[in-house]
Chains A and B, each alone.
Chain A
Amino acid sequence: MREPSRALRAAVAAAVVLYVLPLVALVVRAFADEWRAPNLVPQQFGLRGVDALFSTTTRAGEALVQSLSVALLTTAIAVPIAWTAARAIGERRLRRPIPVFVLIALPILVPGYATGIGLSEWFVRLDLADTRTGLVLAHLTVVLPYVVLVLAAGFGPKVSELEEMGRSAGLAPWQRLGWVTLPAVRAQLAVACVIGFLVSWGQYGLSLAVGAGEPTLPGVLLPFLRRDQQIAAAVCLVYLAPAAVALLLAARASRSPL
């Protein structure tokens, strides 16, 4: 078996110090009912943080379901809308691409809270404020640009050539899509879905502005960061979990691109 290189060992050591150690402390904090300074080790372990996750007063469970459903719905809507635009950008079919890029980049660069405050004015009139539909629409403003930009990298002359071969072989459009295009862009599609999901999952300001009445995970987490570190750590672990799962799934899906 090959020995791991020095660089890999150094990277692992740096990752342990910078990433793993802080995360381990977060796990310990989530299960430390009593951890007073100056002690480096908790005085008492317990499940107060976990209990709070399932308690109706914290609304963490409700927020988890809400954040998950909003992120999944937003991504599911964003991908088909983004598909043709990503394709046109990837295949360089635009005469003036810069204005299109600027239009796509602006919602990403402008703070989500600013976008949310503006959208909430319309959502109140349309009865969309404090609703899941309102949250999905608002998240679409920032998720859609990311999905377009990431998905565009999957298209290009190689995919067009493969599709042309499929056409020559007599495949119907839906067969070309299922048997040629989707497998060819599978890796980039997986990455676009993960990024879309994570962008929606991490929105705080936007969600606060358009749906303060609807609990989302970051909305539940933030007050606890100031008030109760144990519950905050427990919510943080839940907040991290789908991101990790989504990354693993994307890594698996992208392992064997065409």
Chain B
Amino acid sequence: MSRRERFGGALAVAPAGAAIALLFAGAVLGAVEASVLPIPGEGLSQATLDAWRNVFRDPALGDAIRFSVQTTLMATLISAALAVPAALALRDHGPAVRSIFSAPVPVPYLVISAVATLWLAGGGLLERALGFLPFDVVRDQAGLGIALVYVYHEVPFLTLLILASLGTELSQREEAAAVLGASWRQRLAWVVWPVIRLPMLVGTLGVGAFVFGSFEVPLTVGPTYPETLSTLADDKLSGSAFDGRAQAAALLVLVTAITVAITFALVWLGMRRTRRA
């Protein structure tokens, strides 16, 4: 690649890159500023870390972190575990079957939450049909309802990602492995898994980040306590504390920092693995 082509590439990315960087960096800086200035519009000389101290002293923070991590792990692991067999089952089928399967992908989360409430809440349609509710899903303390909404939405999404990575070449390699006497487990571990690993990792990271910062889904199907970090921030914002807005901003800066740290860690791991390979 010539120097001119490289420069041209950087120049081509500039409009979108600058817009994203300006808006995103502005958002992060704005949130940091809001977290240290309890009264908006005051000069930086009035900056204080009181809101941060209050956030870290609040016992709800530990519960919110635990609950956010718990729902994230549940939703992400279940989605990934279901997406792999779904992709393997769908790979020999045409666009019609794949389209039907991927129908929930464009559906907004709030609509799925509404459907979950209608069917699975106490007094909902499932309880009316069965005469009893086998388990609490909506507003349950374990966050099953939150996880279920995300699983419903993200299994088709992850399946599509995995399907995109499964080409005809893979089937030929699998056939070759079968001819050589490899069992289906061995073919899955040695032939299929290395191919789907990267899209799975990328997709799972995206899903995990989405669930970790989830806001509207826990507001509709989550319990009142414990809360996720984002809904705890919303509570602080609408609460009566003097520095409520600063505390909310501090919590959201914390969520942002965790998400950014995980993203960078995974990128670093991916780059290290590529270099080794």
Chain A residues within CB distance 8 Å of chain B: 5, 7-8, 11-12, 14-15, 18-19, 22-23, 25-26, 29, 37-40, 81-82, 84-89, 93-95, 98, 100, 102-122, 124-125, 137-138, 140-141, 144-145, 148, 194, 198, 201-202, 204-205, 218, 221-222, 225-226, 229, 232-233, 236, 239-240, 243, 246-247
Contact = CB atoms under 8 A, between A and B. Distances in A.
Given A82-B16, A113-B215, A118-B34, A233 B118 contact: yes
Contact of A141 (B8, B27, B127, B214): B27
Interface residues of B, number: 82
B255 interface: yes
Contacts of A98: 267, 271
A114 B256 contact: yes
Given A7-B97, A85-B12, A243-B107, A229 B118 contact: yes
B114 A233 contact: yes
Given A22-B115, A205-B215, A236-B114, A85 B10 contact: no
Interface stretch (B59-67, B173-181, B188-196, B258-266): B258-266
Nearest to B37: A121
A102 B128 CA distance: 48
B86 to A, nearest CB: 10
B241 interface: no
Contacts, number: 246
A40 B128 contact: yes
A18 B152 CA distance: 9
A93 B1 contact: yes
Among A40, A122, A205, the most chain B Cβ lie within 10 Å of the Cβ of: A205
A37 B13 CA distance: 57
Interface in B188-232: 205-206, 209-210, 212-216, 219-220, 230
